[in-house]
Structure 1
């Protein structure tokens, strides 16, 4: 199972980070960053298969790809903002982490506006 691989790798990285953090804080942060990126790369294949399935479902349901594309972008922004903010927190920069989360929320809002407008137009047509 893939989760066992991810958890095992994370625990090994955690042990190395905790051991090194006492002597070299900067190196521990870099190891944490590399471990996070490796886990993310490992999960990209899983994410791509989910996105492919969603695209197939959208084709069957005759959903416009513009909306699906926006949803994919929103998911990407949320995952990347969360990943980056957690790395910032690991480095002891919770203030910067909060700013990254705020920026992610604003970008998601900006992307969601066209979808909200389309929903409102559909409601207006029904009325």
Structure 2
């Protein structure tokens, strides 16, 4: 986390210095820094996924549900990252559309999980 904090603070410092004279380079620096931090987050996410794969193999849970949950998490991360970059560049309308689409995609992906949950509740009562 310290490495990510240092990268972020250094990028912000240089972006602020560049913004006055070369705003286009400031924006590119922000995007590059965000991409680097996102790559670190994906690396950590891989470790988390491996942990949950081991856990799922020991439980009587359908693995397809886990895959769906990971995909929904990926959509949320990518949407947040993309939306933040758009907002930083002054395009808040596009950022809002990205967020709206991501929410809709997550709802659509959750339908099979919710359907199984409703069936399970129906069997219990």
TM over 0.5: yes
What is residue 52 of structure 2 aligned with on the other side? 54
1:90 aligned residue (88, 91, 95): 88
1:112 deviates by: 0.3
What is residue 108 of structure 1 aligned with on the other side? 106
- Separation in structure 2 between the aligned mates of residue 82 and residue 43 of structure 1, nearest angstrom: 13
- Separation in structure 1 between the aligned mates of residue 14 and residue 71 of structure 2, nearest angstrom: 34
What is residue 68 of structure 1 aligned with on the other side? 66
Deviant stretches of 4+, over 4 Å? none
- What 5-or-longer segments of structure 1 have no aligned partner? none
- What 5-or-longer segments of structure 2 have no aligned partner? none
1:10 aligns with 2:8: yes
Q: Equivalences for 1:5-44 in 2 at 5 Å?
A: 5-44=3-42
Equivalent residues, number: 125
